Structure 1
Amino acid sequence: MKDNKLSNIISQYSSEEHVDGQLYTLNLGPTHPATHGIFENVLTMDGEKILHSEQTIGYIHRAYEKICERRNFAQITTLTDRMNYCSAPINNLGWHMTVEKLIGCEVPKRVDYMRVIMMEIARIADHLVCNGVTAMDAGAITGLTYLFREREAIYELYEQICGARMTTNMGRIGGFERDFSPKFHELLQAWLKKFPKIWGEFCALNERNRIFMDRCINVGGISAERALSYGFTGPNLRAAGVDYDVRVANPYSSYQDFDFIIPVGTSGDTYDRFMVRQQEVWESLKIIEQAYKNLPDGDFHADVPEFYLPEKADVYNNMEALIYHFKIVMGETDVPKGEVYHAVEGGNGELGFYLVSDGGRSPYRLHFRRPCFIYYQAYPEMIKGSMISDAIVTMCSMNVIAGELDA
């Protein structure tokens, strides 16, 4: 069937564009260093020119949404951070907010601010990878090595919160497992002092670099109308000129308390996507500094003993704590019936959780709105007529994460 489709494509372009010579098929992926993940693009090529593209996903075979229907609500946290693993804490904390909306849990103000700090740090980590790799695939390898060093510093901050680095399982329903430690405060203060200078050097290296600009300007563009029709959100939509940001449109976790702007582009091309993320890093730093400076006193978790694991010392010495611990770990806590949707501004756009509960101990239905899965469908349109080298930087600037494609 695929052979017949390819024949039709070849026939169409041969007759319409009078292609000289023979068209050929190029499999870009599923395990190709330039795809940065396990997904495939079947390209129909006329020399270096791309005439047609067809995406193929499903190589990871995970079926997270169905797995969630057999897991209790606390266990699902470890599944969410395998989607966009470049900014896993945003996935984790967004899921906890969804469950809290279902059970009617209000968290302390300190939890809101702690979450904002960690989510914005994760957003910066996500943009470091995206823009660092975009620069690398355009030939500027040095910048990526600088940024990965800074990402390691961010992972050290993660370790102080949850003991993990990449797939973080950060936080708990109702708040955090532990408060910010003295070591975390020390590392965060040092990072906030050091990182702006490093980021400024990366900006100076690339933003006005003539070679980099020539590789990115007017490459892989998409209009605001087409981006909206595909369902774009996040930096890719804002690069096309639409100032939609979940943190502003539907504030959560006290984002309304912070002063920041929404960077937007005009043409929606690779360079605009790069520059929007560049500016968003500066804005995230502003938010982190505001939240950290005004971090409220109080508890680091809500009073929800049915969902929040008690202290281990209490489990050993208090029968009520032992019962709650057993029920939470074994997934024996019923939740209310209901249907909720909660969205956060993920590293790639609106990351949504649509949860349907029948009153049981696992979701009746759970759907993840993965921004990568939605905007990846526009990729063939964005690269049609371009060169293979343009297709690579376009994919990088879109920040296509394989884990979000195949959930």
Structure 2
Amino acid sequence: HRGVEKLCEKLTYVQITPIVDKNDYVAPMTNEQAVNLAVEALAGIEVPRRARYLRTILAELQRVASHLLWLGTFAIDLGGALGGGTSLFMYCFRERELIMDLFEELTGSRFHYNTHTPGGNRHDVPEGWGAKVKQVMRLIEGRLDEYTAVLDHPIFEARTKDIGVIDAELALGLGLSGPILRASGVDHDLRRDAPYHAYDEIELNVPVAAEGDCHARYRVRLAEMRESIRVVLAMMDGLPEGPINGGRAIKTPVQVKIKSGQAYVALETPRGELGTYVIGGGDNRHASPYRFKIRSPSLHAVSALPWVLPGHQVSDVVAILGSLDPILGEVDR
């Protein structure tokens, strides 16, 4: 047990952001956003419209990058059977690298960005960054067809179809969310059903599949990448002018003090519903939370294994676990 929740109760609200970066280290942007949304809800902080647009763009870029890493590693896990698994792994990491370069140009870091803060963002869009984002998104959109061509393979289908089936009732009963839930036929997405950031300003098409097997989870994530690319392009075209942090230039950490109250905020990460529960009134003269709790989608995903694995061959465990896409950093909080 890494004790992240208890550690955050000893830190100020601003100091928590770089800590949660390390929970889901494949999608740190959305981890940052979750904790800052909770703090903003608890403190009644208004986020400027430009910052909400930028957060939406970063969340969807992160989704594409995360799914690319998942697809590449999923392919190489099954690569001995495919023959082309290693090739697809290299393709996916090649494209993911382009998104990492965009994050580095914006935040100065390739991992653990620490770019969100209560009330907005630390880093505004540098000159020419928007054009690069559009170029990268269009390039990746064209290459998604190459990925599906590599995996349009009878052995890949045999390794994933009717393997690791999770029906809608079981998925809901186990608290599964994100692509796993939607691949089980449940049409639920917090970005559309309980919108945050600027998702209420765009119509979101939510991919759903009915089979609930490994192949359905693969198809849903591929479709999510296409939809995320569409959202990023639309948001970049409509990015409004204005401040990104309520008009304040954040050069040093701004203290947020909350004497009492509680808030629970959930958002859609690439792995599903990430919830953050915060109770105010902790130490450091109310600059720290009294209680900090994380609801992790990966914990629910691995908790499903006792229901999903029985009846399968040992070789199927690789496909099933890979299709659930857990990140152990947020499982062991």
Q: TM-score range by the shorter chain?
A: over 0.9
In 2, Cα distance between the equivalents of 1:385 and 1:398? 18
Q: How many residues align?
A: 325
Aligned to 1:280: 224
Check whether the contact 1:103–1:336 (CA below 8 A) recurs between aligned residues. Answer: no
**Rg (Cα) greater in structure:** 1
Aligned to 1:194: 139
Compute the displacement of 1:189 (Å). 2.8
AA aligned to 1:376 is V
Deviations 1:240-285 (A, max 9, x none): 0001111111100120111221111112110001110010000101
SS at match of 1:389: helix
Q: Are residue 251 (structure 1) and residue 195 (structure 2) matched?
A: yes
Match of 2:301 among 375, 379, 384: 375
Aligned to 1:64: 4
SS at match of 1:74: helix
Check whether the contact 2:115–2:123 (CA below 8 A) recurs between aligned residues. Answer: no
SS at match of 1:337: coil
Q: How does 1:4-403 map to 2 (within 5 A)?
A: 61-139=1-79, 140-206=85-151, 208-303=152-247, 309-310=250-251, 325=252, 328=253, 333-358=256-281, 360-403=286-329
Aligned to 1:404: 330
In 2, Cα distance between the equivalents of 1:287 and 1:160? 21
Compute the displacement of 1:183 (Å). 4.1
SS at match of 2:130: helix
AA aligned to 1:171 is H
Deviations 1:156-185 (A, max 9, x none): 111122111122222222111121001422
AA aligned to 2:262 is E
In 2, Cα distance between the equivalents of 1:372 and 1:280? 18
TM-score normalized by the length of structure 2: 0.94
In 2, Cα distance between the equivalents of 1:186 and 1:256? 24
In 2, Cα distance between the equivalents of 1:276 and 1:180? 30
SS at match of 1:101: helix
Q: Which moved more, 1:394-403 or 1:158-167?
A: 158-167
AA aligned to 1:397 is S
SS at match of 2:262: strand
In 2, Cα distance between the equivalents of 1:85 and 1:273? 21
Q: CA RMSD in A?
A: 1.5
SS at match of 1:65: helix
Greater RCO between the two (CA within 8 Å, min separation 6)? 2
Deviations 1:77-97 (A, max 9, x none): 011111111111011122111
Deviations 1:5-26 (A, max 9, x none): xxxxxxxxxxxxxxxxxxxxxx
In 2, Cα distance between the equivalents of 1:193 and 1:383? 38
Q: Unaligned stretches of 5+ in structure 2? A: 80-84
Aligned to 1:4: none
SS at match of 1:67: helix
Give % identity. Answer: 34
Check whether the contact 2:45–2:118 (CA below 8 A) recurs between aligned residues. Answer: no
Deviations 1:44-84 (A, max 9, x none): xxxxxxxxxxxxxxxxx311000001000111001111111
In 1, Cα distance between the equivalents of 2:288 and 2:204? 38
In 1, Cα distance between the equivalents of 2:89 and 2:2? 30
SS at match of 1:227: helix
Compute the displacement of 1:375 (Å). 2.2
Compute the displacement of 1:136 (Å). 1.5
